[in-house]
Amino acid sequence: MSGTSLDGVDGVLLEWRDSAPFENSVEHDVSLSLLSNTPHLKVLMHAFQPFDAEFRTELLSLNTPGNNELHRAALAGNRIARDYAKVVHALLKESGMQANDIHAIGAHGQTVRHRPLEFDADPSTGQGAVGYTLQLNNPALLAELTVIDVVAEFRTRDLAAGGQGAPLVPAFHAEIFGASTHTVAVVNIGGISNISILREASNQSNALASIIGFDCGPGNALMDYWVHLHQGKDYDAHGEWAAQGQVIPALLQSMLAEPYLHSMPPKSTGRDLFNPAWLQRHLQQNLRAEFATADVQATLCELTAVAIAQDLKREAPDAKQLWVCGGGALNGHLMSRLQAHASGVEVASTEAHGLQPLQVEAAAFAWLAAKAMKRETGSLESVTGARGARVLGAIYPR
The per-residue pLDDT for 22 is 43
pLDDT at 261 over 70: yes
CA 95 to chain CA centroid, Å, is 26
Question: What are 355-381's pLDDT values in tens digits?
Answer: 999 999 999 999 999 999 999 999 999
3 state SS of 177: helix
**Residue 396 dihedral angles phi and psi, to the nearest 5°:** -110, 105
The per-residue pLDDT for 26 is 41
C-alpha angle with apex 104: 101 to 108, nearest 5 degrees?
145
CA 235 to chain CA centroid, Å, is 17
Strand partners, 136: 110
Burial track 120-154 (b if 16+ CB lie within 10 A, e otherwise): eeeeeeeeeebbebbbbbbbebbbebbebbbbbbb
Please give the Cα distance from 332 to 324 (Å, whole number): 12
Task: Count Cβ atoms within 10 A of the Cβ of residue 387 and give its class: 0-12 exposed, 13-18 middle, 19 or more buried.
Answer: middle
Other residues' Cβ atoms within 10 Å of the Cβ of residue 216: 26
8 Å CB contact between 197 and 203 = no
pLDDT at 207 over 70: no
8 Å CB contact between 142 and 105 = yes
CA distances, 14 to each of 36, 105, 168, 207, 363 (Å): 14, 10, 18, 25, 7
Burial track 285-314 (b if 16+ CB lie within 10 A, e otherwise): ebeeeeeeebbbbbbbbbbbbbbbbbbbee
Q: Mean per-residue pLDDT for 185-205?
A: 85
8 Å CB contact between 213 and 267 = no
33 band by pLDDT with thresholds 50, 70 and 90: low
End-to-end Cα separation, the chain, in angstroms: 20
The per-residue pLDDT for 123 is 47
Question: What are 86-134's pLDDT values in tens digits?
Answer: 999 999 999 999 999 999 999 999 999 988 865 344 445 445 567 899 9
pLDDT at 55 over 50: yes
8 Å CB contact between 295 and 247 = yes
The per-residue pLDDT for 38 is 60
The residue that leads in pLDDT, 233 or 128, is 233
Question: What are 262-314's pLDDT values in tens digits?
Answer: 999 999 999 999 999 999 999 998 876 678 999 999 999 999 999 999 999 99
Pairing of strands 33-34, 41-50: antiparallel
Q: Which H/E stretch holds residue 331? A: none
Of 74-88, 207-221, 363-377, the least confident: 207-221
8 Å CB contact between 162 and 130 = yes
3 state SS of 181: coil
Domains and CATH numbers, the chain: 8-166+359-396 (3.30.420.40), 170-353 (3.30.420.40)
Put simply, whether the predicted model's pTM sits higher than 0.95 gets the answer no
The per-residue pLDDT for 120 is 42
8 Å CB contact between 320 and 346 = yes
Q: Mean per-residue pLDDT for 20-48?
A: 61
pLDDT at 170 over 60: yes
Residues 6+ apart with CB under 8 A from 76: 55, 58, 59, 62, 110, 136
3 state SS of 321: strand
The per-residue pLDDT for 31 is 38
